[in-house]
Amino acid sequence: MTDSFSKKPALVLFALLLMMLVSCSDRARLNPLDPNNPYSQGAPTGVRLFSQRNTVTLLWSPMPVNDLEHYIIYRSAEQGGLARYDSIPANVTQYTDNNVTYDKQYTYAIQAQTKYDESRLSETLSIVPGAYDIVVADYYSQRLIKITYDGNRMFEFYDGYTPTDLAIFDHRIYFTNLWDNSLKYIDQSGDVHSFSLGEAPVDFAFDRNNRFIYILARDNNSLFILSVDGEFRGKVTLDADIHFYSACSYDPVLDCLWITDESFHKIYRFDPASDALTLIAENIRGPEEFIIDSANGGGWIASLNGIIHVRSDNSVERLLPNHYIYDISRDESSGLLYYSGYSTENNSWEIGYVSETTYTVLHTSYAYIYKIKIVPETIGTGLALIDGYNAEIIRLNARGQEIGRRAGIYGVTGIELR
C-alpha cells in the first residue's frame, strides 16, 4: 500500500508538466506572428481596400503584439512587383495613398514589424482608381449601394428602402421609394431628405435647366412635378396606364417627356406646356427607359423588338430587329449607343455598340446582362454591366478587359456615376 501511494505524487507531477507543455504550445500557436496561427497565419488580417477619386485607402485589423513598432506598406503599380512603399506607426490601422493615377491598377499588402521580428505579408488586394464611384439602386435588396470605380468593392450602403429609380443632381443622390410613396435625396453629408407623394412612384426624370422633377406614380396614373428641393409644383392625371415598369425621360431639346409603358407596349410623348399626351408607337414589346438624343431631340429605347429610334418629328424606326435588347447607354463624346441583348439570328448574347449606319459586337461571353452603363475613362469608354443570372456587377475597361466583378446585386432599378 505504501509503495502504491508513493507513486501518486510522481503521476500528478507528470500530468501537471504535460498540461503546462500543451498550454505553452497553444499559446505559441496563438502568437499573431506565428505562421501556424490558425487565425492570422502570421500576417495582418482584415485588410480592406477602396478608392475615391485619386486616392486609395487601406484598412486592416490591429495586430495584438506587445513590441509592435510599425506597419510597412507594400505596393506595386500595373504589372510591377511588390516593393516596400511606406511605413506608419503601430497604433494606426489605416493608410491613404494620394500618389495614384486614374485607370491604373495598384496592388497592396501590409506587413507588421516588431523590435526583433516581422510578420508575413498580408493577402494582396488590387484596385483601379478613377474619376467616379458607381451608385446602384437595388430594389430587391432594399438598399442603395456605393461601389468602387473598378466594380470590385461595395463600400457604403443605405438600407431599408425600395428604390424604383435613381439619379444624381447637384451632388445629391435622388431616388423614388415605393413603400412609403416618396421622393428622397441623400445630400453630401449623408443625410436623407424625404418628400411624400401619397401615391406609389415608379420612375422620375429631371428638367435640369428649370430644376424640376417629373415623377410617374401608378396608383392614379399621375405625373407629379416638384422642384429639386421637393416643393410641389403641380400634378397631372395621364390618360395612360402607369405600372411598376413604366418609365419617363425628359427631353430638353423638345421640352417634352417621353413615357414608355412596358406592360401595354406603348410609347407616349407628353408636352408640359399643354398637358397633351400623344401616343407615338404601340406593339413595342418590353420598352425600357428612353435615352435622349441631346443634340436633336427624340432618342432611343431598348425593347424586345430591337432598338427603337424615335425622331423629333415623332417618326419611328427600328434598329437591330433580330435582337432582344435589354438596355442601352449612350456615350455623349462619341455619339455611340452601347447595348446589351440577345441575337436571335446568331443565338448568342451580345455587348456592342451602334453607330448611324453599322453595329459592332464587342463581347459574346457575357450573358443575362440587363443593365449597361457607360463609364468614361482617361483612355476611352469603359462599361459597367449588371448580370441578372449571377447577381453581380462587372466592370470592363476601355480596352474591353474585365477589371472588376462583385456579387450581391439582385434587382437593379438604377445605376449612376458620382
Q: Is the confidence at residue 73, as pLDDT, over 50? A: yes
In a domain, 35, yes or no: no
Quick one: pLDDT band at residue 43, thresholds 50, 70, 90? confident
Looking up residue 295, the CATH number of its domain turns out to be 2.120.10.30
Rounded CA separation 40/43 (Å): 5
**pLDDT in the model for residue 46:** 92
**pLDDT in the model for residue 95:** 97
**pLDDT in the model for residue 364:** 96
Rounded CA separation 333/340 (Å): 20
Minimal CA–CA distance to 113: which of 76, 147, 178, 63?
A: 63
In a domain, 174, yes or no: yes
**Does one domain contain both 122 and 151?**
no
**Does one domain contain both 167 and 107?**
no
Domain boundary among 101, 127, 153: 127
Neighbours of 2 (CB within 10 A): 5
Give SS3 for 264. coil
**pLDDT in the model for residue 336:** 95
72-76-82-86 Cα dihedral, nearest 10 degrees: -20
Task: Residue 300: give the domain boundaries.
Answer: 134-417
Question: What is the 8-class DSSP label of residue 340?
Answer: E
Domain boundary among 127, 155, 190: 127
**Does one domain contain both 84 and 111?**
yes
Least confident of 1-10, 163-172, 348-357: 1-10
**pLDDT in the model for residue 168:** 97
Q: Are 176 and 248 in contact (CB under 8 A)?
A: no
Mean pLDDT of 75-84: 93
Quick one: pLDDT band at residue 32, thresholds 50, 70, 90? confident
- For the chain, the domain total comes to 2
The helix (H) or strand (E) run that includes residue 7 is helix 2-29
Using alpha carbons only, what angle is made at residue 226 by residues 236 and 208, rounded to the nearest 5 degrees?
110
- For the segment 372-397, what is each residue's pLDDT rounded down to a tens digit? 999 999 989 999 999 999 999 999 99
**Does one domain contain both 157 and 65?**
no
Q: Is the confidence at residue 5, as pLDDT, over 70? A: no
Quick one: pLDDT band at residue 356, thresholds 50, 70, 90? confident
- For the segment 94-107, what is each residue's pLDDT rounded down to a tens digit? 999 999 999 999 99
**Does one domain contain both 310 and 162?**
yes
- Residue 66's Cβ-side half-sphere holds a number of Cα atoms within 13 Å equal to 1
Q: Is the confidence at residue 274, as pLDDT, over 70? A: yes
Residue 23: which residues within 8 A CB-CB, separation 6 or more?
Answer: none
- For the segment 309-351, what is each residue's pLDDT rounded down to a tens digit? 999 999 999 999 999 999 999 999 999 999 999 999 999 999 9
Cell 485607370 identifies what position?
103
Quick one: pLDDT band at residue 113, thresholds 50, 70, 90? very high
Rounded CA separation 339/330 (Å): 9
**pLDDT in the model for residue 6:** 45
Mean pLDDT of 218-246: 96
**pLDDT in the model for residue 53:** 86
Using alpha carbons only, what angle is made at residue 249 by residues 270 and 382, rounded to the nearest 5 degrees?
160
Mean pLDDT of 236-260: 97
Rounded CA separation 176/168 (Å): 12
**pLDDT in the model for residue 80:** 87
**Does one domain contain both 177 and 61?**
no
- For the segment 176-224, what is each residue's pLDDT rounded down to a tens digit? 999 999 999 999 999 999 999 999 999 999 999 999 999 999 999 999 9
Question: What is the value of pTM for the model shown?
Answer: 0.87
Compute the mean pLDDT over every residue in the chain, rounded to the nearest whole number: 91
**pLDDT in the model for residue 297:** 97
**pLDDT in the model for residue 25:** 41
**pLDDT in the model for residue 298:** 98
In a domain, 295, yes or no: yes
**Does one domain contain both 121 and 145?**
no
Domain boundary among 106, 127, 148: 127
Q: Is the confidence at residue 39, as pLDDT, over 80? A: no
Quick one: pLDDT band at residue 18, thresholds 50, 70, 90? very low
Mean pLDDT of 133-141: 97
In a domain, 204, yes or no: yes
Cell 406593339 identifies what position?
283
**pLDDT in the model for residue 197:** 97
**Does one domain contain both 202 and 222?**
yes
Q: Is the confidence at residue 83, as pLDDT, over 60? A: yes
Rounded CA separation 354/34 (Å): 58
Q: Is the confidence at residue 16, as pLDDT, over 90? A: no
Cell numbers given for 132:
467616379
Share of the chain above pLDDT 90, in %: 83
Quick one: pLDDT band at residue 133, thresholds 50, 70, 90? very high
**Does one domain contain both 320 and 392?**
yes
What percent of the chain is helix, strand and coil (3-state, nearest 5)? 5, 50, 45
Cell 467616379 identifies what position?
132
Cell numbers given for 310:
424615335
Q: Is the confidence at residue 370, as pLDDT, over 70? A: yes
**Does one domain contain both 239 and 386?**
yes
